[in-house]
């Protein structure tokens, strides 16, 4: 049983890493540097970034993939992914918009859209992996 969940976690983690790192690779050079480059480190703290990825994927599994698999419903998985992305990215972006001086609203809007998209897509991958692994 634990091996099943580890395989599901790794499958979902790989999907999230590939998709999100591709997004950041493109968007950091253009959009994020333009709007919040003054806040960005020259090099990320990779250990902290890894901690985020590990926790975020755990959240996707617990709150998106597992309920979708239990209901045997891809549409439910997608909806939960969109909501999870909205809630998690919204927490970060809306807090920044509220508290960080001169935080660009457009960054929050783009990030919220990205969060909903990536959580839904990674939820779909996790759901399909879960179906395949059973």
Mean pLDDT of the chain: 96
Number of domains in the chain: 1
| Residue 65 belongs to domain spanning | 2-133
Average pLDDT over residues 34-38: 94
How many whole angstroms from its chain centre is CA 112? 10
Q: Which of 24-28, 43-47, 70-74 has the lowest mean pLDDT?
A: 24-28
Q: Which of 23-37, 50-64, 115-129 has the lowest mean pLDDT?
A: 23-37
Single pTM value for the model: 0.93
Q: What is the pLDDT of residue 63?
A: 98
In 4-128, which ranges are E strands? none
Q: Judge whether residue 80 has pLDDT over 90.
A: yes
4 Cβ partners below 8 Å, 6+ apart?
133, 134
74 token code pair: 């891809």
Q: Which of 38-42, 65-69, 74-78, 99-103 has the lowest mean pLDDT?
A: 38-42
13 token code pair: 């983690």
Minimal CA–CA distance to 128: which of 1, 2, 7, 23?
A: 7
């Amino acid at each position: 049983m634990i091996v099943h969940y580890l395989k599901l976690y790794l499958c979902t983690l790989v999907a999230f890493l590939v998709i999100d790192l591709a997004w950041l690779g493109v968007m950091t050079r253009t959009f994020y540097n333009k709007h919040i480059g003054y806040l960005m480190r020259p090099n990320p703290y990779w250990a902290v970034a890894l901690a985020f990825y590990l926790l975020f994927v755990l959240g996707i599994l617990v709150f998106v993939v597992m309920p979708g698999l239990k209901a045997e419903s891809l549409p439910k998985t997608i909806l939960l992914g969109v909501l999870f992305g909205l809630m998690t990215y919204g927490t970060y972006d809306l807090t920044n918009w509220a508290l960080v001086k001169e935080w660009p609203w457009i960054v929050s809007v783009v990030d919220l859209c990205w969060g909903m998209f990536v959580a839904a897509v990674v939820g779909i991958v996790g759901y399909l992996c879960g179906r395949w692994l059973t």
